Amino acid sequence: MTQTDVQPPFRADHAPHPDYNAMPDAEFRAVVRHFIETHYPDIPRHLLRRLRWQEVCPWYAVLARTGWLAPTWPQALGGMGLNAGKHLILIEEYERFGCARMHDIGTVMLGPLLIQFGTQAQQDHYLTRILSGEDIWAQGYSEPGAGSDLAALRTEALRDGDHWVLNGQKTWITLGADANMIFVLARTDKSVRKQAGISFLLVPMEAPGVTVREIENLEGHAEFCEVFFDNVRIPIGNIVGEVNGGWAMAKALLGHERVFIGAPRLSASALARLEEIARREGVWSDPVFRDRFTQLEMDLADLSDLFETYVERLRTGAPIGADVGLLKICQSELYQRISEEMLQVAGSLGGAQLTDATARLDTAGTWLAARPTTIFGGSTEVMRNVVARASLDLPK
Amino acid sequence: MQSEPDDWVENVRMLEASLGAVVPEDGSLLRVREQRGNGAGFDPTTWRIIAEMGWLALRTKEDDGGLGLGLREATALCAGLGRGLVPEPVISAILALRLVSAAGAGAPEAALTGETIMLAAWQGGASDCDPTAGVTVSDGRLNGRKIAVEGGLGADIFVVTLAEGIAVVPKDAPGLTVTGQQMHDGTFLAQLDFADVLAEVLPCAGMTTFVREAMLMHAAYLMALSERAFEITLDYLRMRKQFDVPIGQFQALQHRATEIKLQLELARAAIGAAGRMLDRSEDPHLAQMAILRARSRAGGLARLTAREAIQMHGAIGYTDEADIGLFARKAMVSAGLYGVDTDLRRQFSAMRDEREKAQ
């Protein structure tokens, strides 16, 4: 890791937060805009790829010092206490400015889980270290043999005195090489139904027996890793919730992320770039192209309306419903159709491999970046299975 | 943004509760089936009931004896009619009254009570939605053609849209020829040919908007008939067994069913958003664009649902005896009314460019 002039631990150094949820939306939006314009460090914006830790660290530092790192955590625990509506505005403004996404598994995934299910000691220890940037977390869910069928996971933790002994392999770990901690779903009982024998373990990446290997993706970036566990010994207390209670807990964790993962932002930003490319290539006024573009534009607007209906449910506390998966299906498929159109409009040079400096209208990069959106976070096929059974009540 | 009274929610509840007067609550389609091809393709007695319920005057100003309700109420009503495949040309009548009222001609008492059937003749060509097209006026005489007047064979009075405004023309006006085309759903679309028909032309501010409002109501009709057809199809998927299992267990069918569900929810969301924007008078330009895409979505949904419903029912879906066919025929016919896909996209694109220029 290259040295930068900012390194953890970062300490919060700010006035108490106001009650953001009480602000009118427009006022809060202005606050967010001002915050970004004032604080965004001199690092790249509007990139399709994820920045590595040494690149994004200055932004993490700013968010940590100002208390903006964990938007949804309660203020008493170092968060901003935002409700879903305000959180959405925050995300929208970050996206509009093109803010780099920092390493947020700790604040988005683990933090809320610990707040809901962790012991006081776990909260005191881990939440503090997430906020200070001392712990950068990775998520160890998928395995080579357990992707869509996650509950088939085989990584195993056996009790040995005061320790768990962990053996197995996790994969598709986003930015795993930058993390010093990983949470792992591991099998702790093989004698029961597969979902019932899974526990949620907290594992230091420096522990003896942990090996990390980077995986280069189709875009040419090493965002993914695989992690091997070879007789890794973990203190018995490094478990969240009950032994064998990990599966239900991991599922309960999916709150408004189930809605936000279907937000139309990716498609909206891609459509704006498609327009720019079409103008550059001189096809904007071609009626054949415009008809196709108009269809995409209408699809995006309809998706935005559908997204709003779910956000409204979050705002009013109404049940989200089993059909929420439709949002992600729709968003990711639309994003892919737009990226397809970008590639076509850019013609013979659509496949050009661009650098960060020229990447804003990267057609091939967008096409590639759109691929995993129908795979991660529940593949389109699994999401359709779920909607068919849970929402349409079709037989299993 | 103005603060919004929640009256519409209660209004919608009352309207939905009153639908039983026309749409059998047990889902029976016997009346609809028997009405096909009969008379003008709809039932005058049912028309009187509809008028008595006040539905025709839903969008007419209270000053003119109407209910003055919003589009969210109107779309809820039309959705209820769509679920029941109601063949009476309610949307056309709502539009006709709205046009006449906006032109300052009041609302004819007989049209409100249903004694007289007054329908809108707005469409000029089969593939465009320009209400000023088709009929021209000079020296107080109308010449040209209007098409696709739903239920038009049963009308007493036509409200004709023109570049200059509207004209109210009785069916027996000298020079007017009314011919019917029977459609596959058992209704008739009327074609009106005008040869020097004498008529008074009344300016009508907002005419294009009123036609677009009718498009939105029709989108709700399409959405709801699709939803009902989808429900019937899902029931069939759960019940029908082949290879010893309910066919709804097959992933191929499940995934196609989720696509219908997705298109249905997109249509519902777009219709809801358009209605809300119009009722709150938020950004009228964007609201009109929302109507165009809601109507486009609903048409695509209806056709998708119709063909999937037939396919998923298998051979029984291809018989006239099965009710699902009533939905398929209605979808096929209705998806071409109050909006045509290519034209909807053309209008949407043009409005987008206007918006860009203005900003």
Read off the pLDDT of residues A137-166 as tens digits, 9 standing for 90 and up. Answer: 999 999 999 988 999 999 999 999 999 999
The predicted-structure confidence for B188-226, as pLDDT tens digits, reads as follows: 999 999 999 999 999 999 999 999 999 999 999 999 999
Q: Hey, is the C-beta of A298 within 8 angstroms of any chain B C-beta?
A: yes
Given CB atoms, is B348 within the 8 Å cutoff of chain A?
yes
Ranges of CATH 1.10.540.10 domains, chain B: 7-115
- φ/ψ of B237, rounded to 5, equals -60, -35
Task: Please report the pLDDT score of residue A356 as a whole number.
Answer: 77
C-beta neighbour count of B312 within 10 angstroms: 22
Q: Which residues of chain A have pLDDT under 70?
A: 1-5, 254-255
Contact indicator for A79, A71 with CB cutoff of 8 Å: yes
The secondary structure of B137-181 as a DSSP string is: EETTEEEEEEEEEETGGG-SEEEEEETTEEEEEETT-TTEEEEEE
Question: Cβ A301–B293 below 8 Å, yes or no?
Answer: yes
CATH of B119-202, one of 2.40.110.10, 3.40.50.300, 3.40.50.1820, 3.40.50.970: 2.40.110.10
Is pLDDT of B1 > 70? no
The CATH number, out of the four listed (2.60.40.10, 2.40.110.10, 3.40.50.1220, 2.40.10.10), of the domain defined by the range A137-246: 2.40.110.10
The structure's pTM equals 0.93
Closest to A201 in 3D by CA, of A165, A174, A173, A251: A165
Of the candidates A92, A95, A257, A297, the residue annotated as catalytic is A257
pLDDT at B3 over 80: no
Q: What's domain B207-358's superfamily in CATH?
A: Butyryl-CoA Dehydrogenase, subunit A, domain 3 (1.20.140.10)
Fold of B7-115: Butyryl-Coa Dehydrogenase, subunit A; domain 1 (1.10.540)
Q: Which residues of B fall within a CB distance of 8 Å from A267?
A: none
Helix (H) or strand (E) holding A300, with range, is: helix A287-316
The pLDDT assigned to A106 comes to: 96
| Long-range contacts of the stretch B169-178 (C-beta < 8 A, 24+) | B169/B142, B169/B194, B169/B197, B169/B199, B173/B197, B173/B198, B173/B199, B174/B198, B175/B141, B175/B142, B178/B152, B178/B153
pLDDT tens-digit map of B112-139: 999 999 999 999 998 888 999 999 999 9
**What is the band of B251 on the pLDDT scale with cuts at 50, 70, 90?**
very high
Alpha-carbon distances of A223 from B17, B136, B320, rounded to whole Å = 56, 66, 58
Question: Would you call A318 an interface residue with chain B, using a CB distance cutoff of 8 Å?
Answer: no
pLDDT at residue number A314: 87
For residue A210, what are the CA distances in angstroms to A105, A152, A166, A177, A222? 19, 22, 10, 12, 19
Long-range contacts of A58-61 (CB under 8 A, 24+ apart): A58/A4, A58/A6, A59/A99, A59/A100, A59/A102, A60/A10, A60/A102, A60/A103, A60/A133, A61/A6, A61/A8, A61/A10, A61/A133
Chain B residue whose CA is closest to A325: B262
Contact present, B90 and B303 (Cβ < 8 Å): no
Report CB contact under 8 Å: B269, A330. no
Average of per-residue pLDDT across B258-270? 98
Q: Which amino acid is at A199?
A: S
Rounded to 5 degrees, φ, ψ at B185 are -90, 5
pLDDT at A355: 80
3-state helix, strand, coil in chain A (%, to 5): 50, 15, 35
Q: What number is the average pLDDT over the span B339-355? A: 95
Interface test with A, best of B223, B240, B293, B344 (most A CBs within 10 A): B293
Contact A195, A265 (CB under 8 A): no
Answer yes or no: do A395 and B238 touch at CB < 8 A: yes
CATH number of A254-391: 1.20.140.10
Residue in chain A nearest B256 by alpha carbon? A384
Q: Averaged over B283-312, what is the pLDDT?
A: 97
**Res. B2: pLDDT tops 70:** no
Owner of token pair 């920045």: A51
Instruction: Please list, in sequence order, all residues whose beta carbon lies within 8 angstroms of the beta carbon of residue A279, skipping any fewer than 6 positions away.
Output: none
User: What is the tens place of the pLDDT at every residue in A282-301?
Assistant: 999 999 999 999 999 999 99
Q: Does the annotation count A257 as an active-site position? A: yes
- Look-up: residue for tokens 């929640």? B6
Nearest CB among B254, B289, B342 relative to A385 is that of B254
pLDDT, averaged across chain B: 95
* Domains in chain A: boundaries: 20-102, 137-246, 254-391
> CA of B345, closest CA in chain A: separation in Å?
6
A329, A330, A392 member nearest B234 (Cβ):
A392
Would you call A101 helix, strand, or coil by DSSP?
A: coil
The burial of A120, by beta-carbon neighbours within 10 Å (0-12 exposed, 13-18 middle, 19 or more buried), is given as exposed
Of A302, A330, A385, the CB nearest to B293: A302
| Distance between CA atoms of residues B211 and B89, nearest Å | 14
Supply the pLDDT for residue A315. Answer: 82
- Residues of chain B in contact with residue A326, where contact means CB-CB under 8 angstroms, are 258, 261-262, 265
Query: Where does CATH 2.40.110.10 sit in chain B?
Result: 119-202
Flag whether residue B285 sits within 8 Å of chain A, measured between CB atoms.
no
B254 in contact with A, Cβ within 8 Å: yes
| Contact assignment for B261 to A323 by CB distance below 8 Å | yes
